[in-house]
Structure 1
């Protein structure tokens, strides 16, 4: 079988995505004294570049979406060790509200995120700052992945 331009590009994109999938970062959720941690993974390049524009514009909704899409799980710190909040991965939304015993079901994942950051003086600003750090990390991961694949 002969490779086509599209098949080669698809293979490159798949290797890039597979390499990114293995990368995660753990970020303390503000207001929980280091006890609650969100594990995040990089979002796709196209989506990440849109989030970079949102960081520069200070737009809340796309930045909240960056965190929601990047969230892979929540962890808690037990005797200094990070352990999953629940046996199955917990995402931002109803799962999180249930796990933390909020009592009310959030209308959307964005609402859940604002509630999660509710201990901050300005929860939306806290989400925006958290998301800006996450988006910067995503950019680094895309760059490192591209360099690693180029070195193969």
Structure 2
């Protein structure tokens, strides 16, 4: 099976009551299996061998891996299967879609990186290399509702 990938740099910035700031980030890698259906859906199919538009990664992509300096505990809590020492990546379970994978990236940053920091405000950093802002905000807002419970 032919596979393409998209990589996203996901970064959160947290502020505490004293005005201290803490930031952490992760590389989110999405695998996109190139099937006949995906090829036909690309407007200019001749380009699909070399380039797949980002919206296809979001619609059809599967969470592949996370790259982070965080030593993630309890991999199964985050739909992760294993840590690959050669690539220094945490590998997702099979069939985790784009949105579910992004949720897990946010959860890891919030629960693992900010666990000893009591943020009064947390926000995603908007920069080059992120998913579309609407998608980023939608998933982040969903995760924050659960995080604040």
User: What is the TM-score when the length of structure 1 is the normalising length?
Assistant: 0.35
Structure (1 or 2) with the greater strand fraction: 2
User: What is the TM-score when the length of structure 2 is the normalising length?
Assistant: 0.35
Q: Which has the higher contact order (CA 8 A, sep 6+)?
A: 2
